Structure 1
Amino acid sequence: MKEKRDDIKLWKDKAFQGEMEVLRASCFDHRYPPHFHDEFVMAVFARGAQRNQVCRKTGVAAAGTVMIIHPGDVHTGEAVERDLGWDYCAFYPSASLVQSVAEEVLPGRGQINFGREIMRHAPHMAKGLLRSASVLTQSQDAMEKECILFQLLSLLISHYGERTTRGMAASNARADIRRAIDYLQTHYHQTVSVGDVASAVGLSEFHFMRLFQTSTGLSVHRFLTQIRLIRAKSLLALGVSASQTAQDVGFFDQSHFSRIFRTHFGMTPGAFASACR
């Protein structure tokens, strides 16, 4: 039996407003498939190197790298060298939380934007962020964690953010693709066909599939799977069983759900649920 080398811990922390997700991981064999988050991804890399693709742009995050990914941006991740792997921590603040902090620490008007540079090699900053993240993930004091989070966000926003009138990628999508995403967000728990979505936005199936893939970076099926997984994590964190969650979010059965969940997050639904308690 192959030795399991990956150590991935992902959970929703109830100390934060909106129960923000937090991750600490040491990855060797796990590969993150193309996926997106509704929230920002703010990650700091401590060891090794991760090869990734963000919005179809390939890069490498080595130790000392700070990474910020906007909500909705499709990305992947895998080890540059399997036997070396990579260690990192990440947290996933909502767009509204990041915007609220930006309004306190940045001048100007408009939405927070971190530009096109996804990764910054900043060893000194990364070292400080890793120290803070360690407290963030280990402290049992809710007030201490909230203060640490505010400090982390303030530091990242003040160094790398700007407030502009430009919208983020999701808000710039074509109106018909936006309507298609809204349809998927509403009907994810049902059996949905490509024809259903294409008809809802007034496009032919093949034209819609090509346009959706080009606009989002994911097939409509993979995008729907992502929506279902995001909803599933919320239910699991509330204590809903894996079997009921699978049914509620539209997966065929618990086995199929568990397999897809592990592929995306490197852990089982049960392990995620336990970590959120």
Structure 2
Amino acid sequence: MCTSMNPSSHDHAKPVSEEILLWRDSDLGDGMEMLRAVCCSHRYSAHSHDEFVIAAFERGAQRHCIARHNGVAVPGTVMIIHPGEVHTGEAAEEAGLWAYRAFYPSAQIMGQVAEDVFGAPVSELDFGREALRENLTLARQLTRAHSIIETSPDPLERQAAFIDMLALLIKRYGQSINGTVLREQPPADVRRAQDLIQSCFGERLTISQVAEAVGLSEYHFMRSFRKKTGMTVHAYITQTRLRAAKDLLAQGVTPAQTAINVGFFDQSHFTNRFRGNFGVTPKRYAEACR
């Protein structure tokens, strides 16, 4: 529980329950994930997504670090995070809360909508270095689209809201880049380690195995990996396993079998990690996917 001021009185505070809903909608693009959250105690440790993160903040304040840049998101703020950018998130104040809605569209879907918006092929879609935009009107439009997608039983209505929302965002802040946007890339040894983890995450992996495979000492490898990626090796492996787990759960694989398939020691360990990262249990995530 955290507290929120009652608008009718500044002398009393009422408790607000933490509520996080994460799901995947198979009717949107290639199966886009959606999130609606009121966060109190939940804290997102350093992680990244393969997809874009588009978020609109409704209440409270969220403190974060995105690609090593610190900031605070408040109501009326729109957040845009590029695929692969490491970020964190937590309440800006002790015992505070923050409420937001988020979309996770793939780069492929974003590119397709961008081509329609710009009327020309898009080799790379970029939103610049600023992750936060103070735009109350756009934040409200994103929130409305999110609400339609969450509640409407009509796939056509959900798809229309989804595409209109992406088009609005791209028209306002997107840039079509000719060629490749130069983002910082990890060195070759770190990329080899990432490739190894991606191909072997379901197996029992150790630091010594991965370090030896890329030709570094364990200590040097651990320091280099964290410095260049913004995540520890363990956090990266866990994130890779959890991403794969979400795919399996959305396909109807049971949580118990999913835990085994992606390399967790047991279902309890898997459930704790999943809930710690996403704020919901594997079972609840699977039930929410459609």
Matched, 1:126 2:139: yes
Partner of 1:231: 244
Whole-angstrom distance in 2 between the partners of 1:11 and 1:78: 21
Query: What is the aligned-residue RMSD (CA, Å)?
Result: 1.9
Aligned identity (percent) is: 49
AA in 2 matched with 1:167: V
Task: Point out where structure 1 has 5 or more consecutive residues left out of the alignment.
Answer: none
- Deviation, 1:28, is 1.4
- Deviation, 1:103, is 2.0
Matched, 1:138 2:151: yes
Whole-angstrom distance in 1 between the partners of 2:145 and 2:115: 22
Partner of 2:18: 6
1:95-134 to structure 2, matched below 5 A, reads 95-106=107-118, 109-134=122-147
Partner of 2:6: none
- Deviation, 1:26, is 1.1
Compared with structure 1, are the counterparts of its residues 4 and 275 closer, same or farther at alpha carbon in structure 2 (3 Å cutoff)? farther
Partner of 1:161: 174
Aligned residue for 1:166, secondary structure, equals: coil
Tell whether the 8 Å contact from 2:114 to 2:122 is kept in structure 1 after alignment.
no
Partner of 2:259: 246
Compared with structure 1, are the counterparts of its residues 168 and 18 closer, same or farther at alpha carbon in structure 2 (3 Å cutoff)? farther
Aligned residue for 1:29, secondary structure, equals: coil
Tell whether the 8 Å contact from 1:54 to 1:74 is kept in structure 2 after alignment.
yes
TM-score (ref. length: structure 1)? 0.93
Whole-angstrom distance in 1 between the partners of 2:43 and 2:109: 29
Partner of 2:75: 63
Larger radius of gyration: 2
Residues 136-145 or 221-230, more deviating: 136-145
- Deviation, 1:84, is 4.1
Tell whether the 8 Å contact from 1:65 to 1:122 is kept in structure 2 after alignment.
yes
Aligned residue for 2:253, secondary structure, equals: coil
Whole-angstrom distance in 2 between the partners of 1:269 and 1:209: 29
Tell whether the 8 Å contact from 1:29 to 1:82 is kept in structure 2 after alignment.
no
Whole-angstrom distance in 2 between the partners of 1:217 and 1:84: 26
Task: Point out where structure 2 has 5 or more consecutive residues left out of the alignment.
Answer: 3-14
Matched, 1:184 2:197: yes
Which of 260, 266, 270 in structure 1 is aligned with 2:279?
A: 266
Compared with structure 1, are the counterparts of its residues 168 and 142 closer, same or farther at alpha carbon in structure 2 (3 Å cutoff)? farther
Partner of 1:21: 33
Tell whether the 8 Å contact from 2:57 to 2:77 is kept in structure 1 after alignment.
yes
Which of 20, 35, 42 in structure 2 is aligned with 1:30?
A: 42
Aligned residue for 1:43, secondary structure, equals: strand
AA in 1 matched with 2:273: I
AA in 1 matched with 2:48: F
Compared with structure 1, are the counterparts of its residues 221 and 4 closer, same or farther at alpha carbon in structure 2 (3 Å cutoff)? farther
Whole-angstrom distance in 1 between the partners of 2:27 and 2:180: 32
Which of 94, 105, 111 in structure 2 is aligned with 1:93?
A: 105
Paired residue total: 276
Compared with structure 1, are the counterparts of its residues 4 and 183 closer, same or farther at alpha carbon in structure 2 (3 Å cutoff)? farther
- Deviation, 1:83, is 4.3
AA in 1 matched with 2:98: W
